[in-house]
Amino acid sequence: MSSLREGPAIVVRREDYAPPAFWIDTVDLAFDLDPAKTRVLNRMRLRRNPDVAPQALRLDGEDLNLARVLVNGGGCSFRMDGQTLVLENLPEGAEPFDLEIFTTCAPEKNTQLMGLYVSQGTFFTQCEAEGFRRITYFLDRPDVMASYTVTLRADKDRYPVLLSNGNLVDSGNLPDNRHFAKWVDPHKKPCYLFALVAGKLVAREQRIVSRSGKEHLLQVYVRPGDMDKTEHAMNSLMASVVWDEARFGLPLDLERFMIVATADFNMGAMENKGLNIFNTKYVLANSATATDTDFANIESVVGHEYFHNWTGNRITCRDWFQLSLKEGLTVFRDQEFSMDLCADPSARAVKRIEDVRVLRTAQFPEDAGPMAHPVRPDSYVEINNFYTVTIYEKGAEVVRMMQTLVGRDGFRKGMELYFQRHDGQAVTCDDFAQAVADANPGSELSRLLPQFKRWYSQAGTPRVQATGRFDAEARTYTLELAQTCDPTPGQSDKAPFVIPVAIGLLDAQGRDLPLHLDGGPAVAGTQTVVLSEACQSFVFTGIDAEPVPSVLRGFSAPVVLDMNLSDAELLHLLAHDSDPFNRWEAGQRLALRRALHAIRAEGPVHQEPLDEAFVAAMRAVLRHPALDAAFKELVLTLPAETYIAEQLDIVDPQRIHAVREAMRSQLAHALHEDWIWAYEQHRDNGAYRPDPVSTGRRALTGMALTMLCLAARDNGNPVWPGKAYQRFKDAGNMTDRFNALSALVIAGLPLASEALARFHGMFRQEALVLDKWFALQAGAPDRGGNILPAVRQLLAHPDFNLRNPNRARSVIFSYCSANPGAFHRADAAGYVFWSEKVIEIDAFNPQVAARLARALDRWKKLAEPYRSAAREAIARVAAKPDLSNDVREVVTRSLA
Ligand code: PHE
Ligand code: ZN
């Protein structure tokens, strides 16, 4: 992150990559930690890179005070080029030399939370992507890998715990009530993986023995009052260690693996070697304070950061354009981890549906908007703006397609070859794809590799048009698949992608037909074909009667599928598809069709947009004896407003909101008896366990309660509001309690304010619970424009703190990014609020501000008067002269 606010923004280009002119072999850092003025002594051993023509050494720095530079122990000449430290007269030749740099910085003034900062009296660091330069002058780029020795010195009472990467090799007392700790990291690493922590912390500890018989110490560090919320994180960490060894043969390569939680963090968590630093949101949980969603998130984030130890740390990125090399692959790995922890296939499918939902509601819009970029971008102004759903989630889909093309065993072989070739190196996305292909000669991936890699180079979501034709005489079913991809900024023409399409054909009874592709061998159930041309036909033979096609099973590629199935066909799939993803998808398509119909209709919004067939199908799913609760909850959840918006060329957010609310309320009334049944059937009273089965039951009861409260709001019957309030009070865990509270708030019932006040009183000491309390109110359905004034009041609440990213997100993002019906106001007041907050936050934390700036990404699709008002608000932000590079890049692209 650059706090440089002067001069034109510099565009960094992938094609300009050049290897570094110097290597840094070892780094010895000594810190005298003081919040006001921390001293950093950095002693490096460098040598010239023999492959690069001799040139000056240019070291990155940002907001540092430079006191001294010594080369081989003596004075030397240096100059500043902006914030870059330039040394021109360094020793010639291949011999290594010593460079010593002494600087100071002010951690307590570091509000952007990059580099060394203080959170609740404890020191933390955040170095990815370019934060290390805020700690000392360095070659702050991931292809420079060095061995680190770190000495920390600090006051003994205020900072009893002193941590850094690797192993603790020495510690002891110093004069003036100070002490020190010396850490040596046995692994070379890029500087973005450096970390230190110093403060008053306690640790949950666990010793484990890995398969090879080696002993390891696992630690989860938190503030003293939080020890009772560390069990789940530790369990997740142990499960991660076991899984990576079992599934990929990748063992823990450290004697000690530490996780530390901080309440002030811009992102979710960070994979620093051996010393992961986490947002408290992804560590702290117990049944009284955390919901099932929190438990699931902790499991996947702990897994994600742990898996980075191999995919990211042992093999890292050559440059930041390759970010998805580690992020896409590691998201894929954490998704597989969470799925593998599910005992039954239905729970796996639920996880897959949730992941696809994120992709479609967040990444597809990104891919269609002003910030669209390839999984491997070609240029950026501010790298922090490229930690996106495209890099992460679409990147994971690209890896998943590779696994689909080579099979699960083939993919494991690919991973093995990748580590054989590149362990200890900084490499590219090409290197990864090449390894997977080379390990699977003869596979479709290997045959089509250059074309497959268009997934890395071309932005935009491909559309696949599918048309089926049954020929009774020839007894064939022909599926014609055609692909297109719309232009994205800087890419007007797209070449065809390699798209694996998983297909099934259902007979009239809903059973999967055996498939013979072009007379080939029979395949039971699902056949995956590979679409690599603009248009291709696939002929299935031996088909006696017209089947119902189930296309793109399991969401086998990140594309939009256009297939004109009739309602009857979709209802057939919803009732019978053996592929749970497509079964869910059929329900979504039916709901979407009805939503779009009502949105496009003339006149006021129809209050009952649903027909009896749809309602009956939803009832059948809800009452189904064999489907599990989690899956039912997903089917009965209507498509999100943002997802509906993506299907339209001109978006009226108010009308979308009104239609979706009408659909939900119709389901609440039409299925009233069924919701009562579902609520009574699925409420558990046993001990809390965050397993998929009981999680699903709680999700479905929560949904039922919301529906019952919605109906009660309309008919004035106080029974269900009373029950919801009772459940809110009596709940044995946070999931049930928060679901009951949400039901009252969503339905806008009078009891909601009582419940909210009570909830605040119960949890005023629990920051993460208060975040939920704020988010629920800022994200509540708008009634006559009441949410914005409520949001302004929340900002004035004594517990609100704009500087804390979690708290800022809980109110401002919940309103601007997650509550379209309240944010898009005809009077433009939502946009005015947004522009004020972007500017206000940018002054102290550009990363958080730039994320918020993206809330209006899709303004060009808006109907009037929203469109003009949105453009004006963005222009108002862009007109500010002293914006950060982060926000500047987002608003400039948005207006382009
Ligand atoms: N690398 C982190 C992850 O995804 C994300 C992150 C990026 C955290 C930048 C902090 C800063 O695991
Ligand atoms: Zn990551």
What does the pLDDT look like over 369-407, one tens digit per residue? 999 999 999 999 999 999 999 999 999 999 999 999 999
The one-letter amino acid code at 884 reads S
Centre of ligand 1 to C-alpha 268, Å, is: 7
Nearest CA to ligand 1 atom 9: 128
pLDDT at 516 over 80: yes
- For a pocket test of ligand 1, which of 125, 267, 276 has the largest count of ligand atoms closer than 8 A to its C-beta? 267
Contact present, 478 and 469 (Cβ < 8 Å): yes
CA–CA separation, 11 and 13 (whole Å): 6
Which of 349, 363, 413 lies closest to 393, judged by CA? 363
Nearest CA to ligand 1 atom 7: 128
- Mean pLDDT of the 786-807 span: 98
Find where tokens 């409260």 sit. 709
Please report how many Cα atoms fall inside a 13 Å half-sphere around the Cα of residue 603, on the Cβ side: 2
For the chain, the straight-line distance linking the first and the last C-alpha, in angstroms and rounded, comes to 23
Centre of ligand 1 to C-alpha 437, Å, is: 28
Contact present, 661 and 780 (Cβ < 8 Å): no
- Mean pLDDT of the 766-787 span: 98
Cβ atoms within 10 Å of 566's Cβ, excluding its own: 9
Q: Is the CB of 384 under 6 A from ligand 1?
A: no
CA–CA separation, 873 and 885 (whole Å): 18
The one-letter amino acid code at 635 reads V
Any idea what DSSP says for residue 8?
Answer: P
Find where tokens 């779009």 sit. 596
pLDDT at 699 over 60: yes
What tokens were used for 756? 């909210």
The CA-atom distances, in angstroms, between 254 and each of 173, 210, 289, 311 are 27, 11, 32, 15
Q: How much of the chain exceeds pLDDT 70, in percent?
A: 99
Q: Is the CB of 126 under 6 A from ligand 1?
A: yes
CA–CA separation, 348 and 332 (whole Å): 14
In tens, the pLDDT along 282-303 reads: 999 999 999 999 999 999 999 9
Centre of ligand 1 to C-alpha 128, Å, is: 7
CA–CA separation, 678 and 702 (whole Å): 10
- Closest ligand 1 atom to Cα of 114: 11
- For a pocket test of ligand 1, which of 113, 387, 393, 851 has the largest count of ligand atoms closer than 8 A to its C-beta? 387
- Closest ligand 1 atom to Cα of 131: 11
What is the pLDDT confidence band of residue 5, given thresholds at 50, 70 and 90? low
Q: Going by C-beta distance under 8 Å and a sequence separation of 6 or more, which residues neighbour residue 376?
A: 14, 321, 322, 324, 429, 456, 457
Higher-pLDDT residue of 257 and 518 is 257
> Which of 842-858 are b and which e, b meaning 16 or more Cβ less than 10 Å from the residue's Cβ?
beebbbbbbbbbbbbbb
Which of 190, 206, 348 lies closest to 272, judged by CA? 190
Ligand number, closest to the Cα atom of 386: 1
Strand, helix or coil for residue 598: helix
Lowest mean pLDDT among 23-32, 38-47, 204-213, 751-760: 204-213
* Angle between helices 429-438 and 323-340 in degrees, nearest 10: 50
Mean pLDDT rounded to a whole number for the chain: 97
- Closest ligand 1 atom to Cα of 269: 8
Contact present, 271 and 305 (Cβ < 8 Å): yes
Which of 576, 583, 631 lies closest to 347, judged by CA? 631
Q: Cis before residue 129, ω within 30 degrees of 0?
A: yes
Cβ atoms within 10 Å of 473's Cβ, excluding its own: 5
Q: Going by C-beta distance under 8 Å and a sequence separation of 6 or more, which residues neighbour residue 377?
A: 14, 321, 386
What is the pLDDT confidence band of residue 7, given thresholds at 50, 70 and 90? low
Ligand number, closest to the Cα atom of 851: 1
pLDDT at 4 over 60: no
Any idea what DSSP says for residue 426?
Answer: E
**Residue 305 annotated as catalytic:** yes
187: phi then psi, degrees, rounded to nearest 5: -105, 140
Q: Is the CB of 327 under 6 A from ligand 1?
A: yes
Q: Going by C-beta distance under 8 Å and a sequence separation of 6 or more, which residues neighbour residue 200?
A: 121, 122, 158, 159, 160, 161, 223, 224
pLDDT on residue 212:
85
- Closest ligand 1 atom to Cα of 304: 12
Find where tokens 């700036």 sit. 853
Q: Is the CB of 333 under 6 A from ligand 1?
A: no
- Closest ligand 1 atom to Cα of 266: 10
Any idea of the CA torsion for 526, 529, 530, 535, to the nearest 10 degrees?
A: -130
- Closest ligand 1 atom to Cα of 384: 9
pLDDT on residue 518:
86
Centre of ligand 1 to C-alpha 132, Å, is: 14
pLDDT on residue 684:
80
Centre of ligand 2 to C-alpha 478, Å, is: 42
What is the pLDDT confidence band of residue 9, given thresholds at 50, 70 and 90? confident
Ligand number, closest to the Cα atom of 333: 2
In tens, the pLDDT along 615-658 reads: 999 999 999 999 999 999 999 999 999 999 999 999 999 999 99
The one-letter amino acid code at 888 reads R
Strand, helix or coil for residue 509: coil
CA–CA separation, 565 and 585 (whole Å): 12
What tokens were used for 109? 């003034």
Higher-pLDDT residue of 66 and 8 is 66
In tens, the pLDDT along 201-233 reads: 999 999 999 888 999 999 999 999 999 999 999
Q: Is the CB of 391 under 6 A from ligand 1?
A: no
- Closest ligand 1 atom to Cα of 312: 1
Contact present, 632 and 621 (Cβ < 8 Å): yes
pLDDT on residue 6:
56
Nearest CA to ligand 1 atom 2: 270
Strand, helix or coil for residue 71: strand
Where do the H-state alpha helices sit in 750-843?
751-763, 767-778, 787-795, 805-808, 814-816, 820-823, 829-842
What is the pLDDT confidence band of residue 1, given thresholds at 50, 70 and 90? very low
CA–CA separation, 593 and 582 (whole Å): 16
Centre of ligand 1 to C-alpha 380, Å, is: 17
What tokens were used for 620? 């059948």
Ligand number, closest to the Cα atom of 330: 2
Centre of ligand 1 to C-alpha 211, Å, is: 29
Contact present, 399 and 332 (Cβ < 8 Å): yes
Q: Is the CB of 270 under 6 A from ligand 1?
A: yes
Centre of ligand 1 to C-alpha 529, Å, is: 36
Find where tokens 């780029």 sit. 141
- Mean pLDDT of the 729-754 span: 98
Q: Is the CB of 271 under 6 A from ligand 1?
A: yes
Q: Going by C-beta distance under 8 Å and a sequence separation of 6 or more, which residues neighbour residue 196?
A: 31, 116, 123, 124, 125, 150, 152, 162, 163, 164, 275
Higher-pLDDT residue of 1 and 456 is 456
Catalytic residue among 130, 299, 305, 444: 305
In tens, the pLDDT along 118-144 reads: 999 999 999 999 999 999 999 999 999
In tens, the pLDDT along 551-569 reads: 999 999 999 999 999 999 9
Q: Is the CB of 130 under 6 A from ligand 1?
A: no
Centre of ligand 2 to C-alpha 276, Å, is: 11
In tens, the pLDDT along 70-90 reads: 999 999 999 999 999 999 999
The one-letter amino acid code at 73 reads G
